[in-house]
Chains A and B, each alone.
Chain A
Amino acid sequence: MARKENSSIRDNFSIKKITKSKGFSSFTAALMAIFLGLIFGFIIMLVANPQNAFSGFRYIVLGGLGRFGDVLYFATPILMTGLAVGFAFRMGLFNIGASGQYTMGMFFALYVGFMWDLPGATHWIVAITAGFIGGMLFGLIPGIFKALLNVNEVITSIMFNYIGMYLVDMWIQNNSAMYVSEMTRTRYLPDSVQLPALGITGSNVSLGIILASLIAIVLYIVLEKTTFGYELKATGFNKYAAKYAGMKGKRNIILTMAIAGGMAGLGGAFAILAPAEIAGSSMTYEPINIIAANGFTGIAVALLGNSHPVGIIFSATFISLIQRGGTLTSLVGYKPEIIDIVISVIIYFSAFAMIMNTSIKKFLIKKLGIKIKDEDSESADLVDENSESEEVQ
């Protein structure tokens, strides 16, 4: 029986009643993380270059707004990789392999784009479906290893990041229909396979962001309204109880990893199939042995969005916004890497944000004397809860 009694009682009596819902408190937690992260980022900018810190900071926060189409364009792939990480995380799986799944999805989409000749809109529809399948395969394999052989998914999926990247680079370099060796990049994709643009001038934003947001909402429905979501979250919270209730743990692990991989694969497809601003060109992929950064940014997106699909829509947009803003800071002499530091700090704080949320509430309770009355009998019941719950942690 420890100090925890204190906080657990507060959980029961105050926090919920002040903020009502869990959604609200994770939202405020994310806001606080962002706020502290930005302050810290500002301090770093002050240290690096005091004269321009203020204008640089303005660029970070507001710079992206001027080119919101671009923000959405860059948000699309990290929204999908964010879903890939967040969805698996709800089941207690840490899918660190979004990069490999993303790259694989991109390759599958490229392959359909170059090698298959399909009429009109069917071309891009088939290509993104292929992207989904490519990513799914690369999520499926770590899932199978985890479910059947109990190999930690973190290890497998990290290795599959490399396997995926080198495989794709090799396949592309060996395929002259896809690869221009003197440019070290893929050829331009045909128009028919590029996603329909949304018509915002000066940006590549396409149907992808709308599809990605819809998919996020579908995942939200799957998680919250279906028996599969019920099983998935139950397994994430307590895999023993899930087993006791007769849920098919192995099947669910494989399925979850496959869906997560598919999300990242779609992200790769959306990124590579985005329409070009200049007619006759397209996005290209450079097989230069670099692991896709969008996969790792997905981890940050998922964390900031608290693994909630709808939260991930917002966190992806926000991270994209400050990334865009960050590139503008070079106008006042900052290296764009500064923004990576700020993002890292935000993520760092988001891990603490829940705790900080609680402590601020404690502070409020203490200082303002907020007290909530409850029936005695109930209160008594709730006190001893902590003695039992400790076991679990």
Chain B
Amino acid sequence: MENYIVEMLNITKEFPGIKANDDVTLRLKEGEIHALLGENGAGKSTLMSVLFGLYQAEKGKIKKNGKEVKINNPNDANSLGIGMVHQHFKLVEVFTVLENIILGVEPNNKGFLKKEEARKKVMDLSEKYGLSIKPDALIENISVGMQQRVEILKMLYRDNEILIFDEPTAVLTPQEIEELLSIMKDMAKEGKSILFITHKLNEIMDVADRCTVLRKGKYIGTKDVKDTSKEELSKMMVGRDINFTVEKEEQKPEDIILSIRNMNIASNVQDKNAVKNLSLDVRAGEIVCLAGIDGNGQTEFVEGLTGLEKIESGTITLCGEDISKASIRQRSIAGMSHIPEDRHKYGLVLDYTLEQNMVLQRYWQPKFQKNGFIKFDEVREYAEDLIEKFDVRSSQGPVSKARSMSGGNQQKAILAREIDKEHELLVAVQPTRGLDVGAIEYIHEQLVERRDAGKAVLLVSLELEEVMNVSDRILVIYEGEIVGELNPKEINVQELGLYMSGAKRDSEKEKDNG
């Protein structure tokens, strides 16, 4: 008899019209890292929400240390020692780190806070697990990585022994991911049991002891990670073989499409410029990847390039036309397509229908309007065409609200819109963020297809694997400067990491630019 700390047996959770979990069994051993793998919508989060008391299952039971328990709400879960780091953090932005950690369980003396006591406990925990934090910083001022550490400390502060991580790496940089994974290992060593929701196979291979796979709400199986392979797991997850390497022909770069010279952009958080004297060229028929750790000026660079913010100085030339001061619309007409980093904030009007979103860049063109009146028939026809061509799935076709669509299909819709629009340059910013392997594969294929069609592609990415796989040429950005130009065929991930962390730079390249 194995020693299971938590068992979820034959859990079935139904929502009207759908079985989110169908007879799913998950057993967590004490002190192990147990990965829960599945595509978007496979029911991973629902299962964890049942364990955390957010939902009640219709069928099945939950056992803790062999005894059946009833978890009606997160407070029950908490008192059983179950803690959860949600994908979207639940932090009070205007409170300090320390205040957030103790929120709800404040040590007090007749209503007066005993902050020093709390601080000591928090700092002890932080030291013990290597979770470096600034206890007095406000949440709104710290990085996403540190916010996540705050969430972890919240669980540790409450002496939770079963820790649920809901896609914890989706928002982190490669370095932060590495750090987090080693922290998770340490915590497991200390006897904590960890449930780790993810769809990134590499992470599972790195840290997990066992892995349970769900597909469309059904239990597929549980594997010992050391006895399995990425290929096997992905087949279990998707139900078919997945191609991990992006297949592409030799590139044939042609004329320069985009040329940036000495671009400077002010930072909105500090006095220093976020982008410093940046120059780069992108040719037709190549994918150039701007690689770097998050927060090294990529966001500002893209805003400056696409016209969302003004640049301080420098020139941007697109197809021979100076667009340094052009409006967003003018840049779009000049041939720029843009897949934005934040698909909800910029890429879509979530309360508009799919067809309305499909013409977001083109509604003003004569094809879609006459004398200011929208030609609805044309819009519908165009949207249906794109939906079919790009296989965008939604519940009601062109009239589905964008908000009701899955992340992968939302991204497909944006991709369809930006690719189908007349363009010479495609700026794709973290186009695969938060997507599952099937969707990632599709997006990568499309980027390569653009390149082969003779378009220039500028990909901004934080994912090392994506950088190495998709690009023809890598430019590394560090603190707002290009510090290296690399050929993905000639370097390895470790070397790329050195450039990205600023430990190494091309000295010649520097001179060229200067």
Contact = CB atoms under 8 A, between A and B. Distances in A.
A278 interface: no
B374 A226 contact: yes
Q: Interface range on chain B: under 10, 10 to 19, 20 to 34, or 35 or more?
A: 35 or more
Contacts of B404: 8, 11-12, 382, 385
B393 interface: yes
Given A5-B49, A227-B374, A241-B360, A384 B40 contact: yes
A379 B345 contact: no
Contacts of A356: none
B112 interface: no
A373 B17 contact: yes
Contacts of B356: 230
Interface in A214-253: 225-228, 230, 233-234, 237-238, 240-248
A391 B393 contact: no
Interface stretch (B58-66, B173-181, B325-333, B462-470): B325-333
B344 interface: yes
B393 A378 contact: yes
B308 A243 contact: yes
Interface string A324-354: 0000000000000000000000000000000
B486 interface: no
B18 interface: yes
A379 B406 contact: no
Which residue of B48, B349, B406 has the most chain A CB atoms within 10 A of its CB atom? B349
Contact of A380 (B42, B88, B307, B434): B42
B17 A9 contact: yes
A382 B350 contact: no
A225 B370 CA distance: 11
A382 B347 CA distance: 19
B373 A226 contact: yes
Interface residues of A, number: 53
B406 A385 contact: yes
A14 interface: yes
Contact of B406 (A2, A13, A382, A392): A382
Given A380-B217, A383-B18, A227 B407 contact: no
Contacts of B350: 237-238, 389, 392
Contact of B49 (A1, A372, A391): A1
A383 B16 contact: no
A383 B43 contact: yes
Given A1-B49, A378-B395, A388 B406 contact: yes
B54 A244 contact: no
B329 A241 contact: no
B403 A246 contact: no
Nearest to B329: A246
B352 A234 contact: yes
B147 interface: no
A367 interface: no
Nearest to A380: B41
Interface string A1-44: 11101101111111010000000000000000000000000000
A1 B87 contact: yes
B88 A241 contact: no
Contacts of B42: 380
Interface in B11-63: 15-18, 20, 40-43, 45-46, 48-49, 54-55
Contacts of B48: 1
A313 B372 CA distance: 25
B299 to A, nearest CB: 13
A376 interface: yes
Which residue of A8, A377, A388 has the most chain B CB atoms within 10 A of its CB atom? A388
A381 B403 contact: no
Contacts of B87: 1, 387
Which residue of B17, B88, B434 has the most chain A CB atoms within 10 A of its CB atom? B17
A182 interface: no
A365 B356 CA distance: 31
A372 B16 contact: yes
A124 to B, nearest CB: 29
A143 to B, nearest CB: 20
A11 B350 CA distance: 14
A177 B347 CA distance: 58
Contacts of A377: 216, 393
A119 to B, nearest CB: 34
A16 B401 CA distance: 11
20 contacts: A1-B88, A6-B15, A9-B15, A226-B373, A227-B372, A238-B345, A247-B329, A372-B16, A374-B17, A380-B41, A380-B216, A381-B41, A381-B406, A381-B409, A382-B406, A383-B20, A383-B41, A384-B406, A384-B407, A385-B405
Given A243-B328, A246-B330, A385-B406, 8 more contacts: A233-B352, A240-B346, A241-B347, A380-B41, A380-B216, A381-B405, A382-B406, A388-B406
